[in-house]
Amino acid sequence: MDEKTNIFISYAREDATIAKAIKDQLTLLAQNGNGAPSLHCFLDTESIPPGVRYEPIIRADLEQADYLIVVFTGCQSEYCGYEIGMYSSIKSQPGKSIDGKPVAWLHDVEASKLPAVVAGYNTTLISQIAPYLPEPPKESTQEDMDVWYNSPVGELLRTICGIKGLYTPLHRTKNPRQYGIDIAQGASKIAHAFEIARQDDEKSETPLQAGLELIVFPPFEGKAGEGIPTPVYRAWVEQRVQNFRPECAVLRWQQ
> From first to last of its 255 residues, what are the pLDDT tens digits of the chain?
458 999 999 998 889 999 999 999 999 999 999 998 999 999 988 888 888 888 889 989 999 999 999 999 887 666 777 888 888 888 776 666 666 678 899 999 888 888 888 878 888 889 888 888 877 666 678 898 999 999 999 999 999 999 999 999 999 999 999 999 999 999 999 999 999 888 865 555 545 444 455 555 555 555 555 555 566 656 666 665 555 444 445 555 555
150 and 225 in a single domain? The answer is no
d(CA 225, CA 247): 29
63 and 126 in a single domain? The answer is yes
150 and 107 in a single domain? The answer is yes
Q: What is the DSSP string of 72-110?
A: ESS---TTHHHHHHHHHHHT--TTS-GGGSSEEEEESS-
> Is residue 127 helix, strand or coil?
coil
146 and 227 in a single domain? The answer is no
Nearest partner of 133 among 55, 204, 81, 185, judged by Cα: 185
85 and 198 in a single domain? The answer is yes
- Counting every residue written for the chain, the total comes to 255
The count of domains in the chain is 2
Range of the domain at 235: 212-253
Give Cβ neighbours of residue 76 (< 8 Å, ≥ 6 apart). Answer: 12, 115
Cβ-based burial of 210 (10 A; exposed 0-12, middle 13-18, buried ≥19): exposed
Is 72 in contact with 115 (CB distance < 8 Å)?
yes
101 and 27 in a single domain? The answer is yes
64 and 102 in a single domain? The answer is yes
142 and 48 in a single domain? The answer is yes
